[in-house]
C-alpha cells in the first residue's frame, strides 16, 4: 500500500521539520510526502531542500494553504491520501495503525482523534470529538455520518483522517475561504464514500498558537461568511442524503449563526 501525505508550508521554519520528520518516521506503508512551499520568505525553503529526495518539494508563489493543497493533490499517486499542517505532527505508528485498519475493513475513509499541544509543552485531548466509533457502511451514513455536518464540526478537519485517493482526485479546496474550507471539501468526499471507520485512537497532534483561542486571527465577519458558504453547500447535498426536510434546512442555516456566537463568547472570555 502507498500513502500520499500533503503538507502546505508557509513561513514555518520553527515547526516544519517536526511535521516532516513525523511523516518520514512512519512505518507500515510506502510513503509519498509532498511538501508545497507556499512562497515562504523565511528559512522554510532551505530546511525543506535539506531533505533531498526523501520528500517531493514543490515551490510555489504564495497563494494560501488551500492553493498549496490543491497543487499537492495534482501529484498524489498513493492508494490513500492524508493531510498534515506544517505546525502539527503525527503520533508514532499512525500509518501502521491506519494501514492495518484499512486491510481489516477496506474503509474508504478512516477518521481519528487529535490532541491539543501548547507552546509550554502541555497537552490535552480535545473534548469535541467523535464519540460513536466503529465501522459504518453507506446504509448507516444517514444516521451516523451526515448528521455531523449538520449539528457540529467533528468531521470538518481533513487532517484527522485518511482518504481513498480516488475519492479526492479531481477535487479542489476553495481558495476564497479563510475557515471551513475543509468542511466544504469533505461534503463531496463523504457523499461519494461507501464506508467510514471512526477510530478511538489519538493520532494527530494539533499545535496551538497564541491566536488559536479565537480562531487563528479570523474576524467574526469572516467566520460567519465562510460558515454561511458551508451551510449553502450543505443544503445542496441534503436531497442525496435523504435528509431534505424544512427542519434540517433550518438546522443547517443556523449553524453559521451558532458558530459565530461561540466565537464572540470566546473573544469576550479571553479579554477578562
User: For the segment 206-252, what is each residue's pLDDT rounded down to a tens digit?
Assistant: 999 854 333 457 889 999 999 999 999 999 999 999 999 999 999 99
Using alpha carbons, select from 64, 7, 256 the residue that is nearest to residue 178: 64
All structural domains of the chain: 2-271 (3.90.550.10)
How would you classify the pairing of strands 80-83 and 161-164?
antiparallel
Using alpha carbons, select from 220, 119, 238 the residue that is nearest to residue 179: 220
What distances in angstroms separate CA 21 from CA 30, 31, 33, 84, 175, one per listed residue?
Answer: 15, 12, 10, 12, 28
164-205: per-residue pLDDT in tens? Answer: 999 999 999 999 999 999 999 999 999 999 999 999 999 999
> Are 218 and 154 within 8 A, CB to CB?
no
Amino acid at each position: 500500500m502507498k500513502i500520499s501525505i500533503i503538507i502546505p508550508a508557509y513561513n514555518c521554519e520553527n515547526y516544519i521539520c517536526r511535521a516532516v520528520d513525523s511523516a518520514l518516521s512512519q512505518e507500515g506503508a510506502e510513503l509519498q510526502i509532498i511538501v508545497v512551499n507556499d512562497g515562504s520568505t523565511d528559512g522554510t525553503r532551505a530546511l525543506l531542500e535539506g531533505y533531498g529526495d526523501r520528500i517531493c518539494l514543490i515551490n510555489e508563489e504564495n497563494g494560501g494553504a488551500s492553493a498549496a493543497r490543491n497543487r499537492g493533490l495534482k501529484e498524489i499517486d498513493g492508494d490513500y491520501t492524508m493531510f498534515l499542517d506544517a505546525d502539527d505532527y503525527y503520533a508514532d505508528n499512525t500509518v501502521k495503525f491506519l494501514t492495518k485498519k484499512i486491510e481489516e475493513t477496506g474503509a474508504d475513509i478512516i477518521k481519528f482523534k487529535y490532541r491539543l499541544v501548547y507552546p509550554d509543552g502541555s497537552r490535552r485531548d480535545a473534548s469535541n470529538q467523535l464519540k460513536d466509533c466503529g465501522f459504518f457502511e453507506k446504509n448507516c451514513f444517514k444516521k451516523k455520518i451526515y448528521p455531523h455536518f449538520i449539528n457540529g464540526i467533528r468531521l470538518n478537519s481533513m487532517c484527522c483522517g485518511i482518504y481513498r485517493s480516488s475519492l479526492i482526485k479531481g477535487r479542489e479546496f476553495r481558495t476564497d475561504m479563510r475557515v471551513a474550507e475543509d468542511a466544504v471539501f469533505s461534503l463531496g468526499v463523504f457523499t461519494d464514500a461507501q464506508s467510514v471507520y471512526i477510530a478511538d485512537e489519538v493520532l494527530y497532534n494539533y499545535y496551538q498558537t497564541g491566536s488559536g483561542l479565537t480562531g487563528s486571527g479570523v474576524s467574526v465577519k469572516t467566520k460567519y461568511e465562510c460558515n454561511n458558504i458551508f451551510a449553502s453547500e450543505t443544503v445542496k447535498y441534503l436531497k442525496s442524503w435523504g435528509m431534505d426536510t424544512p427542519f434540517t434546512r433550518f438546522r443547517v442555516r443556523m449553524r453559521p449563526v451558532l458558530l459565530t456566537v461561540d466565537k464572540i463568547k470566546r473573544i469576550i472570555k479571553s479579554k477578562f
